[in-house]
């Protein structure tokens, strides 16, 4: 059953046991002891309790300016390094990962078309492994297990090009450069022309076993066309528009799973990325120099992509959404997220509404909305199975409606007060975040390799 929890009861439950914790968070890269050589725990402890029963929304260590424009750290989605006129050029639409469309989405759930890609020509391409990117001309680009596919707005395949097999993390997406180049990461970073011709491919470690050095993040593109990706070899890499490496930052002493948290890029040129040891770092995009590193969930790999909003960087960890001050990495607040019976790991990053409200899908098939102080606004159940949650970022439309896909194969629309407006069931799990085209059509891919278009039929 799809239900919503009203704000008052939720707020009381969260506020009664208020906890005030110490909030360090700045790490000195010159000190000794961690991946960069040292630092202190930004939270003061490894918060490993059950988020489903814990209620410890933390007051900001200093005031969070609620009047700050929600997009103050945003890099424009139309210009700079991204394709002009594209309604959705990359993961989260913008380098800040705000996940918000300028269009209004469908008021009723209706499937316009379904395009099976996993069994096309008996290639056995398998699941769709990414969110879609949508070009200015309406072409939809998605990544399957073995191919980059271009689909037309009416649901036919325009072209399909082979790529090296990636690791299928799911929180990835093609990215569209200013000249229409399509960048996608698998066993390397591939650059394709809009007609499908391969321009170049950059392997993080040429000659190494591909699965050991695969690109595991969605590309983010700077205003100068530089493409930033993270690899399984724990390298954060900057590559220019011609495929030449500019710099590499290696997380010495990090774990073995590599980067699965896609980098975000601020308007000031700072990069933010979560690592496989549970830390969030801020780096300079010019040379990869580390500004700070703070603990989100020590000892646990981060899959959630960071999101920038009003001077804060928010990222999902273990049973909580954590916000840091972008300038120095101190903790602003922590908001609990309901855990599933099987995991506390939050796979999706938050999206940001026009008023700065953050929406996050959790492992218990629940969408939680909090304001920029981390206080709960509403929550809603969007799937039938609490053990199969929201694995990918939510989408927010112009009206503030939140769209969330679940691992049990549902896509639900939730209004700005937390009421479920409609829900659709699909052939398998939602394997990529929902995205929105210029006409308000929603596109989403599934684990069986089907690309769906959702919206009122013309």
DSSP letters for 362-426:
-TTSEEEEE-TTS-EEEEEE--S-TTS---S--EE-TT--EEEE-TTSEEEEE-TTS-EEEEEE-
**pLDDT top residue among 211 and 249:** 249
The lowest-confidence range among 30-44, 254-268, 376-390 is 30-44
Paired sense of beta strands 366-370 and 376-381, if any: antiparallel
49-53, 225-229, 376-380: which has the minimum mean pLDDT? 49-53
Window from 168-172, 232-236, 358-362, 368-372 with minimum mean pLDDT: 168-172
**Do the strands 331-336 and 351-352 form a parallel or antiparallel pair, or are they unpaired?**
unpaired
Radius of gyration of the chain (CA): 20
Cβ-contact 91, 134 below 8 angstroms: no
pLDDT at 25 over 50: no
Q: What pLDDT sits at residue 264?
A: 95
Least confident segment among 47-56, 301-310, 395-404, 419-428: 47-56
User: In the predicted model, what is the mean pLDDT of the chain?
Assistant: 81
- Taking phi over 0 as left and psi of -120 to 50 as alpha, with beta for the rest, 93 belongs to left
Do the Cβ atoms of 271 and 263 come closer than 8 Å? yes
- pLDDT grade, residue 365 (50/70/90)? confident
* Token pair 């879609």 in the structure block, residue: 132
Q: Report the Cα 113 to chain-centroid distance in Å.
A: 25
CA 156 to chain centre: 27
Tens digit of pLDDT for each residue in 244-291?
A: 999 999 875 455 567 788 999 999 999 999 998 899 999 999 999 999
204/213 Cα distance (integer angstroms): 6
pLDDT band at 6 (very low <50, low <70, confident <90, very high): very low
Q: Cα 187–254–324 angle (5° rounding)?
A: 100
Pick 250 or 400 by higher pLDDT.
400
Q: Alpha-carbon dihedral of residues 282, 23, 49, 277, nearest 10 degrees? A: 30
Q: Which pLDDT does position 36 carry in this prediction?
A: 33
CB 215 within 8 A of CB 166: yes
- Convert the pLDDT of each residue in 80-128 to its tens digit: 799 999 999 999 999 999 999 999 999 999 999 999 987 645 555 678 9
Q: So what's the pLDDT on residue 122?
A: 52
Residues 6+ apart with CB under 8 A from 110: 454, 455, 456, 457
Averaged pLDDT, 202-221: 80
CA distance 249 to 105: 40
Better-predicted residue by pLDDT, 292 or 68:
292
Q: Which two tokens mark 96?
A: 């800040």
The domain ranges of the chain are 1-101+129-351
Can you give the pLDDT at residue 34?
33
Kindly state the average pLDDT of the residues 138-159.
Answer: 95
Distance CA 227, CA 414 (A): 34
How far apart are the C-alpha atoms of 438 and 139, rounded to whole Å?
Answer: 11
Which residue did the predictor score with more confidence, 165 or 308?
A: 308
Contact (Cβ atoms closer than 8 angstroms) between residue 113 and residue 453? yes
Kindly indicate the confidence band of residue 54, based on its pLDDT and cuts at 50, 70 and 90.
very low
The confidence band for 37, taking pLDDT boundaries of 50, 70 and 90, is very low
Q: Could you report the per-residue pLDDT of 285-316, keeping only the tens digit for each?
A: 999 999 999 999 999 989 999 999 989 999 99
Average pLDDT over residues 437-454: 95
For the segment(s) 1-101+129-351, the CATH number from 3.40.50.360, 1.10.10.10, 2.40.128.630, 3.40.630.30 is 2.40.128.630
pLDDT value at 212 more than 80? no
Average pLDDT over residues 186-199: 95
Can you give the pLDDT at residue 232?
82
What pLDDT is recorded for position 170? Answer: 55
* pLDDT (mean) for 442-456: 93
Which pLDDT score is estimated for 16?
Answer: 30
Judge whether residue 401 has pLDDT over 80. Answer: yes
- Strand arrangement of the beta sheet that strand 358-361 belongs to: 4-5, 376-381, 366-370, 358-361, 351-352
The span from the CA of 56 to the CA of 18, in Å, is 5
Residues 221/227, Cβ–Cβ less than 8 Å: yes
Rounded to the nearest angstrom, the gap between the alpha carbon of residue 85 and the centroid of all alpha carbons in its chain is 22
Highest mean pLDDT among 8-12, 43-47, 191-195: 191-195
pLDDT the model gives residue 119: 61
Structure tokens belonging to residue 246 = 């500019």
Distance CA 430, CA 405 (A): 5
Structure tokens at 195: 């007609």
């Amino acid at each position: 059953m799809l239900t919503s929890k009203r704000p008052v009861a939720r707020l009381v439950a969260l506020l009664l046991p208020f906890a005030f914790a110490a909030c360090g968070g700045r790490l000195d890269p010159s000190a000794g002891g961690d991946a960069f050589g040292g630092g202190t725990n930004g939270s003061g402890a490894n918060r490993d309790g059950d988020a489903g029963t814990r209620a410890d929304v933390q007051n900001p260590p200093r005031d969070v300016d609620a009047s700050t424009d929600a997009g103050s750290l945003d890099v424009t989605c139309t210009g700079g390094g991204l394709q002009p006129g594209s309604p959705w050029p990359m993961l989260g639409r913008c380098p800040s990962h705000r996940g918000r469309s300028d269009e209004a989405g469908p008021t009723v759930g209706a499937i316009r078309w379904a395009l099976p890609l996993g069994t096309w020509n008996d290639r056995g391409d398998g699941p769709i492994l990414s969110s879609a990117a949508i070009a200015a001309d309406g072409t939809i680009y998605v990544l399957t297990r073995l191919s980059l596919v271009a689909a037309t707005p009416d649901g036919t395949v325009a072209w399909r090009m082979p790529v090296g097999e990636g690791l299928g993390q799911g929180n990835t997406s093609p990215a569209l450069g200013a000249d229409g180049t399509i960048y996608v990461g698998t066993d390397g970073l591939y650059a394709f022309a809009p007609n499908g011709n391969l321009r170049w491919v950059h392997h993080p470690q040429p000659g190494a076993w591909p699965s050991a050095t695969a690109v595991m993040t969605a590309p983010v593109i700077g205003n100068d066309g530089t493409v930033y990706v993270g690899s399984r070899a724990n390298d954060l890499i900057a590559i220019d528009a011609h495929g030449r490496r500019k710099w590499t930052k290696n997380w010495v002493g990090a774990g073995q799973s590599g980067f699965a948290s896609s980098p975000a890029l601020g308007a000031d040129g700072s990069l933010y990325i979560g690592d496989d040891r549970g830390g969030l770092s801020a780096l300079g995009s010019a040379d990869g120099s580390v500004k700070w590193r703070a603990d989100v969930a020590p000892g646990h790999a981060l899959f959630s992509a960071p999101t920038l909003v009003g001077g804060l960087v928010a990222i999902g960890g273990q049973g909580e959404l954590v916000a840091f001050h972008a300038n120095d990495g101190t903790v602003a607040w922590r908001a609990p997220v309901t855990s599933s019976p099987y995991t506390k790991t939050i796979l999706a990053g938050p999206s940001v509404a026009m008023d700065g409200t953050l929406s996050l899908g959790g492992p218990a098939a629940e969408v939680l909305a909090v304001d920029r102080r981390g206080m709960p606004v509403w929550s809603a159940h969007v799937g039938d199975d609490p053990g199969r949650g929201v694995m990918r970022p939510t989408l927010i439309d112009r009206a503030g409606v939140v769209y969330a896909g679940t691992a049990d194969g549902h896509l639900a629309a939730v209004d700005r007060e937390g009421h479920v407006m409609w829900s659709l069931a699909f052939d398998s799990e939602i394997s990529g975040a929902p995205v929105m085209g210029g006409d308000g059509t929603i596109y989403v891919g599934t684990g069986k390799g089907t690309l769906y278009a959702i919206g009122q039929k013309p």
